[in-house]
């Protein structure tokens, strides 16, 4: 899923949270680069987290906390909801974001 596909789906009201941990990480990486943060280190510094956490998120090795996803989304100018990967076949945003399954 590329940035345009995810953004179009979000704005059309279609389900966008079908991304796996790795896909969500790749989306965050593409968004980071599009926003002008060329290195994980400079982005991590701007966001206020360790570079190793950004690396683990982008490579699908670690699920971040809600606050981290929210901060990442705000810095990248993307929807918080788009950054949340699925868990056990169901969006972990369900119950928090109205209308999500």
In a domain, 56, yes or no: yes
The domain in which residue 25 lies consists of 20-79
> Does 39 fall in a domain?
yes
Stated pTM of the model = 0.69
Confidence (pLDDT) at 46:
94
Task: For residue 66, tell me if it sits in a domain.
Answer: yes
Locate all alpha helices (DSSP H) within the chain, ordered by sequence: 3-12, 21-34, 40-47, 51-58, 66-76, 80-83
> If we measure between CA atoms, which residue out of 38, 8, 16 comes closest to residue 91?
16
72 and 81 Cβ atoms separated by less than 8 Å: no
53 part of a folded domain: yes
Residue with tokens 């899923």: 1
CATH code, domain carrying 55: 1.10.260.40
Domain count, the chain: 1
- pLDDT score of 93: 44
Which of 68, 66, 38, 70 shows the shortest CA–CA distance to 50?
Answer: 68
Residue 81: the pLDDT is 74
Residue 17 CA to residue 99 CA, distance in Å, equals 12
Digits of tens for pLDDT over the chain (101 positions)?
A: 555 555 544 444 344 456 788 888 998 999 999 999 999 999 999 999 999 999 999 998 998 888 898 899 999 988 877 667 665 444 444 434 434 34
Contact 100, 92 (CB under 8 A): no
Q: Does a structural domain hold residue 61?
A: yes
């Amino acid at each position: 899923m590329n940035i345009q596909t995810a953004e179009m789906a979000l704005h059309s009201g279609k389900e966008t949270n079908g991304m796996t941990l790795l896909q969500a990480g790749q989306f965050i990486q593409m968004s980071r680069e599009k926003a002008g943060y060329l290195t994980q280190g400079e982005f991590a510094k701007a966001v206020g987290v360790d570079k190793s956490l950004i690396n683990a998120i982008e490579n699908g090795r670690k699920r971040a906390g809600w606050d981290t996803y929210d901060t990442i989304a705000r810095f990248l100018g993307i929807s918080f909801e788009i950054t949340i990967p699925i868990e056990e076949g169901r969006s972990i945003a369900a119950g928090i974001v109205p209308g999500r399954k």
